[in-house]
Structure 1
Amino acid sequence: MWSPIFKLGQVLKGKSSSYKITKQVQQTVWFAKNLKTDDPVVIKSVQNHFRVENERDVLRRFQDRTRYLRPMVDEIKEPLEPATIVLKYLDDDLRHASDTKKLNRKELKYVSKRILEALSTLHEDGFVHTDVKLNNVLVNYVSPNDDKVDIRFTDVELADVGSTYPAGHKYAKEGVPIGAPVWRSSEVILGLPWNTSTDIWSFGICLIRLIYGGDFDIMTPRGVTFDDEGYDVHILMQHFKYFGPFLPSLVSASEVSREDRDFICKIMKLDPRDRPMAKELLQDRWFEEYSER
C-alpha cells in the first residue's frame, strides 16, 4: 500500500528557507508555505525514481537562460532523502484557463511565443521536453482590479521537465513512448526514434486547441476508449485524417482563419524532418504586428 512521503504541517528545510506542507495535490506534489517569505510554493518528490533528480538537473542547466521555464527556487536538505525540489507556484495551468475562457488573439500569440521561447532554449542544446501539453503550461493572472488589459496573463511558463532528455538519449534512439497519447507525434506512436521535432508537433496540438477553445480536441478518437488496445492506432488515423496527403478537413474549416491555418500547416508535418524548429517559428510572420499590451 502506498504511503505519503510528507505529512500535512511537516516542515522541510531547504538551502535558502524552510517550507511547511499545506496540501497534497498529487501523489508526488504538495503545496507548501515558505516560512521566510510566507509565499506559496510547490514541493515535488518521489521515492525510488530518477524523475525528480532529472528535473533538478535540467532546471539547474536551463532556468537561468530563459524566463519561460517554471523555475526551481530551492532544494530540500532535511530530510535528505528522497530528492525533493521546491518549485515556483503559479495561479493556473493553460488548459484550465482556456477551458474557462477562450483566449483572445493577443493572448493566443502571447502564450505561444513563450512556449516556443522555452522550447527554443531546450532545443538549442538538443534537449527534448517530451511532454508538451496545455496542462504543463502554467500561468499567473493579472490583478483582478486591472480591467483595462487585453491579456489576462503575466507569467507563462513551461513546466514538468522531469522527463526531459537529450535527443541522443537511449530512450530517444529506441523510440520509447513519451507523453500523453493525444499529444504524441506520429513517430512516437509508431515507436520510431524521436528528437526535438516531437515537441513541435505537441506544440501544434496545443495551438489548435487554443484556437478552437473549450474542450475541442481533434486527436481524441471517437468511439474508442483509452483502455482499448487500438487506441494509439486510432490517434494515428486522426493524424492522417487531418494532416495526411489528402485534403485536410481541419485547415479548410471556416472556424480557423487563413493566417492560423497557414501557421498550423507549417507545424503539423507527419514527417518530423519537415517540421520547423522553435526558433524558426518565433520568426514566422504569424507573430508580425503582434503587441503584447
Structure 2
Amino acid sequence: MSSPIFKLGQVVKGKLSSYKITKQIQETVWFAKKTNRYRNLTTEDPVVIKSVQGHFRVENERDFLSRFQGRTPYLRPMVDEIKEPVEPTAIVLRYLDDDLRRASDTKKLNQNELKYVSKRILEALSTLHEDGFVHTDVKLNNVLVNYVSANNDQADIRFTDVELADVGGAYPANHKYAKEGVPIGAPVWRSSEVILGLPWNTSTDIWSFGICLIRLIYGDNFDIMTPRRVTFDDEGYNVHILMQHFKYFGPFLPRYAELFGGGEAEKELELVIQYVFHNVPESERKPFSLVSASEVSREDRDFVCKIMKLDPRDRPTAKELLQDKWFEGNGGK
C-alpha cells in the first residue's frame, strides 16, 4: 500500500497562500484550512485539495479550469496550485457546503429549487459544449451547493451557489477516447451510446443531466436506471441498464443502427439491441411520456421527454434547453 501524499496537520504551500491539511475524505481528496491574518484578526477558510500519484487527471482538471472557470460562475473553481511539495501535481479548489445528491436526499427540492439548480448546471454545460468539451461525469454527486443563511428560514430556494465539479475526466469531443467510445462516467448515469461502446460527444452530458433531473423530481434516493434484478458486479449489469433505457424511453428506432459504423461491431451491437427488445416484455414497458400527472407534473414530464432521447442526434443542446419555457417563473431566474 502506497504512503499517503499528504499527512494530517501538514502545511503545504501554494502560489498564493499556505494550507494546513485537516482531513482526508477520499484517496485523492483532502480538506484543508487556509489561514488569513488581518491586523489582530485570524480566520481559517476551508478549501479542498486534490492530488493523485502517477495519473494525469489532476493536471487535466487544472488545465481545464484554467481555460473555463473565468467564463462561467457555475463551475467549481480552482483557487490555487500547490508548489511545495512540487510532486505530484496538487490543486486547491473552492469548498462548498454539500453536493446535490445528499441535499436532495435530505429534503426533496421544490419546483423553484429544481429550476434554479437545473439552469445553473445547463449554463455550465453550455459553456463547455460551446468549445466542444464533454464533462463525461455529470451526476448529482458532482454538483456542489452552498446553502442560504441558516437565519433565512423563509427562503423559497435554499441554495445560493450551484457549481458543476470534478472535471478531471473532461475531454474534447474529437479526443480519441470519444471517437473510440471509451466508457466514461458511472454506469447508471451513462447514455445508451456510451454503454454500447459507440462514439460519444456533448449530447451524452445532456442524457446524464436528464437522469439528474428525474432523480431530483422524484427525490427519496430514487434512481430510475438502477437495474432491479442484478447487482453491480453482475457481468450483464450494463445491458440491464440499457434495458431500463428501453423500458422508459424506447424504442430504439431503426435509424439508431446508423451509429454502429458497419462491420462485425455493427452485428454485435444489433444483437445487443435485439436482446434488449426481446427481454423487456410489453407488460414491463413504462414510457415516461405516459407517467400520470399525479406522479410527475405534465410540465416536468414534457421537459424530461425532450431531453431523454435514445438517439444522441435527437437530444437538444444545453443552450436550447436554457431557452425552454420550462424555465419561466421564479425558479428559472
TM surpasses 0.5: yes
Structure 1 stretches of 5 or more lacking a match? none
Q: Deviations over 1:81-114 (max 9, x none)?
A: 1000000000000000000000000000000000
Q: Deviations over 1:54-95 (max 9, x none)?
A: 000000000000000000000000011100000000000000
Number of residue pairs matched? 293
Query: Are 1:91 and 1:139, in contact at CA under 8 Å, matched by a contact in 2?
Result: yes
Residue 48 (structure 1) aligns with? 54
Query: Are 1:151 and 1:292, in contact at CA under 8 Å, matched by a contact in 2?
Result: no
Query: Are 2:114 and 2:331, in contact at CA under 8 Å, matched by a contact in 1?
Result: no
Give the match's secondary structure for 1:64: coil
Residue 185 (structure 1) aligns with? 191
Give the match's secondary structure for 1:107: helix
| Match 1:85 to one of 56, 81, 91 | 91
Question: If you compute each CA radius of gyration, which structure gives the higher value, 1 or 2?
Answer: 2
Relative to 1, partners in 2 of residues 1:264 and 1:229: Cα closer, same or farther, differing over 3 Å?
A: same
Give the match's secondary structure for 2:288: coil
Residue 330 (structure 2) aligns with? 290
Give the match's secondary structure for 2:48: strand
**How is 1:260-275 mapped onto 2 (pairs within 5 angstroms)?**
260-275=300-315
How far, CA to CA, are the matches of 1:180 and 1:289 in structure 2? 33
| Match 1:198 to one of 204, 210, 219 | 204
| Match 2:320 to one of 274, 280, 284 | 280
The answer to whether the aligner puts 1:100 opposite 2:140 as a matched pair is no
Q: Structure 1: which amino acid aligns with 2:49?
A: I
The answer to whether the aligner puts 1:216 opposite 2:256 as a matched pair is no
Structure 2 stretches of 5 or more lacking a match? 37-42, 252-281
How far, CA to CA, are the matches of 1:59 and 1:205 in structure 2? 25
**How is 1:207-246 mapped onto 2 (pairs within 5 angstroms)?**
207-245=213-251
| Match 1:39 to one of 30, 45, 49 | 45
Give the match's secondary structure for 2:70: helix
How far, CA to CA, are the matches of 1:289 and 1:227 in structure 2? 44
Q: Structure 1: which amino acid aligns with 2:92?
A: V
Q: Deviations over 1:199-248 (max 9, x none)?
A: 00000000000000111111000110000000000000000000003874
CA shift at 1:261, angstroms? 1.0
The root-mean-square deviation of aligned C-alpha atoms, in Å, is 1.2
Q: Structure 2: which amino acid aligns with 1:253?
A: V
How far, CA to CA, are the matches of 2:236 and 2:286 in structure 1? 23
How far, CA to CA, are the matches of 1:291 and 1:221 in structure 2? 32
Q: Structure 2: which amino acid aligns with 1:196?
A: T
How far, CA to CA, are the matches of 1:185 and 1:73 in structure 2? 32
How far, CA to CA, are the matches of 1:289 and 1:25 in structure 2? 38
Query: Are 1:70 and 1:157, in contact at CA under 8 Å, matched by a contact in 2?
Result: yes
Greater fraction of residues in helix: 2
Query: Are 1:62 and 1:122, in contact at CA under 8 Å, matched by a contact in 2?
Result: yes
Residue 288 (structure 2) aligns with? 250
CA shift at 1:291, angstroms? 4.3
Query: Are 2:204 and 2:312, in contact at CA under 8 Å, matched by a contact in 1?
Result: yes
Query: Are 1:66 and 1:118, in contact at CA under 8 Å, matched by a contact in 2?
Result: yes
Q: Structure 1: which amino acid aligns with 2:236?
A: G
CA shift at 1:292, angstroms? 5.9
Give the match's secondary structure for 1:39: strand
